[in-house]
Amino acid sequence: MVGILVPILIIGATLAISWPLGKYMRWAMDPKTVGTGRNRFEKVIALMLGKSAPQTQNWKTYCLSMLCFNALMFAFVFSVLSFQHLLTLNPDGKDGLEAGLAFNTAASFTSNTNLQHYSGEVSMSYFSQLFALMWLQFVSAATGIAAVTAMCRGLAGRAELGNFYQDVWRATGLILLPMSLVWASCFAGLGMPMTLDGAAVATTLEGATQTISRGPVAAFVAIK
């Protein structure tokens, strides 16, 4: 009975939230079609981009912006993973990743595939987890949302697809970040580790010692 109930609950919950979540995402990504209730956030985006009104882009400039943005993300994360032993937030003294593993990890997280050939708690410093991998899980997902949004605009017959950087900010600030904050708060409240302290050393019932990796687990798992 339980084996049947679990998939029914998952499918039912997915169907229940899909419509309101879809309407909210439309409000977040395409404010022109749903009114002007988000002018303040749009002004913040414009301020972050350094323009009073971000210029709209055609498909060529939109794609070029996306490719350049992803290339910069890859280069930054590859550098962080390779030299994490020189950076802060490394209480357990993690070494930098070798070039092949750093390349594979940076490429997979940049493309939002998150292929992992390592143990995150054992191999990664807290700086790498927070400012490389977790950051990429936000912006790579936001890049995907922006790309789908632009494609929908094109299919709707619009000549200009919007502004890529503006769409990334919308997806991050209005969709991914609020949802992740809710989940991370729930996980931390239920006892999931959320600390920047180093690994804990515990004594087992047999008298042996065991090293337990910790870290900002609640925040990292939430965006997954």
Indicate the burial class of 87 (C-beta count within 10 angstroms; 0-12, 13-18, 19 or more).
middle
**3-state SS class at 123:** helix
d(CA 161, CA 167) in angstroms, rounded, equals 10
Mean pLDDT confidence for 56-81:
94
pLDDT at 26 over 70: yes
CA distances from 105 to 12, 136, 143, 144, 194 (A): 35, 11, 18, 18, 23
Q: Quick: pLDDT tens for 154-169.
A: 998 887 788 999 899 8
Per-residue pLDDT band at 39 (split at 50, 70, 90): low
Domains in the chain: boundaries: 38-223
Q: What is the rounded radius of gyration, in angstroms, for the C-alpha atoms of the chain? A: 21
pLDDT at 11: 92
DSSP string, 20-86: HHHHHHHHHH-GGGS-STTHHHHHHHHHHHTSSSPPP--HHHHHHHHHHHHHHHHHHHHHHHHTGGG
**pLDDT at residue 52 tops 60:** no
Of residues 55 and 147, the one with the higher pLDDT is 147
User: Around Cβ 29, how many Cβ atoms within 10 Å?
Assistant: 23
Strand partners, 203: 209
Question: Residue 200's beta-bridge partner residues?
Answer: 212
- Give CA–CA dist 194/186, Å, rounded: 11
Extract the tokens encoding 134.
Answer: 């977790």
Instruction: Tell me the Ramachandran region of residue 207: left when phi exceeds 0, alpha when psi lies from -120 to 50, beta otherwise.
Output: left
CB of 124 closer than 8 Å to CB of 91 = no
What digits encode the pLDDT tens for the residues 167-210? Answer: 998 999 899 999 999 999 999 999 888 888 888 888 888 888 88
Cβ contacts of residue 164 below 8 Å, gap of 6+?
A: 57, 62, 65, 66, 69, 146, 150
| DSSP-assigned letter for residue 97 | P
CB 180 within 8 A of CB 94: no
Tell whether the model's pLDDT for residue 214 goes beyond 90.
no
pLDDT, tens digit (0-9, with 9 covering 90-100), for 82-131:
999 999 888 888 899 999 999 999 999 999 998 888 876 778 898 999 99
Q: Which pLDDT does position 89 carry in this prediction?
A: 87
Q: Which residues contact 204 (CB under 8 A, 6 or more apart)?
A: 210
> Residue 29's pLDDT band (boundaries 50, 70, 90)?
confident
pTM, entire model: 0.85
